[in-house]
Structure 1
């Protein structure tokens, strides 16, 4: 699988430009996922399985609006370069995950819910 980054809810133009400056030189496959595809599994969004038939975009209600990044198939060195670039450009995307055999069958919403829970636990926000 080609090294891929899935981007969700990256709407700020300045953030998009900064991300491109970081990611394009690394020759990564960048997929900006529209809300209409939020019902797909992460594996389907990465091209690892066939996408499911989904309702039309007008029938899809966004389940989350926070920015999220999913890293799929990145080497450790590439992941380090991406994370270093995010810090250097001061891009705050607190919801990030690596595609795993466990989460590849989740939808973006299911992944976001899990990442958010973990984020809250790590930062003591759920007390």
Structure 2
């Protein structure tokens, strides 16, 4: 069975991050904090999936500030519990979140961020 993993981006609130990390550790979910220089790496590489190589292009300042998380190998039950944890603890939800898919595994963090921003904007702009 492959290990449940999560990538976290831009979690600047230390207390919030501590609570999230505590939950993930308790549930044996591996956490990686992704830093801006890694934003051009494929999600496959960030999750250390065999067969993905490092991007030779250096990230020269492409960035985003929003919190984002990418989940790998979460069952629907694990996902529901994790999302419920935010509500139960009075934590604001993370607006930009995605499950790793056979398509997104090849994307870099910037592409995923752009797609999630588009979706988020569309979902919240229906008037």
Distance in 2, matches of 1:61 and 1:116, equals: 19
- TM-score, structure 1 as length reference: 0.88
The yes-or-no answer on 1:81 pairing with 2:81 is yes
Unaligned runs of 5+ in 2: none
Count of residue pairs brought into register by the alignment = 124
Which residue of structure 2 aligns with residue 100 of structure 1?
101
Which residue of structure 2 aligns with residue 46 of structure 1?
47
Native 8 Å contact 1:67 1:93 kept in 2? yes
Distance in 1, matches of 2:35 and 2:108, equals: 13
Deviating beyond 4 angstroms after TM superposition, the runs of 4 or more aligned structure 1 residues are 53-56
Match of 2:11, SS?
coil
Unaligned runs of 5+ in 1: none
RMSD (CA atoms):
1.8
Distance in 1, matches of 2:123 and 2:66, equals: 18
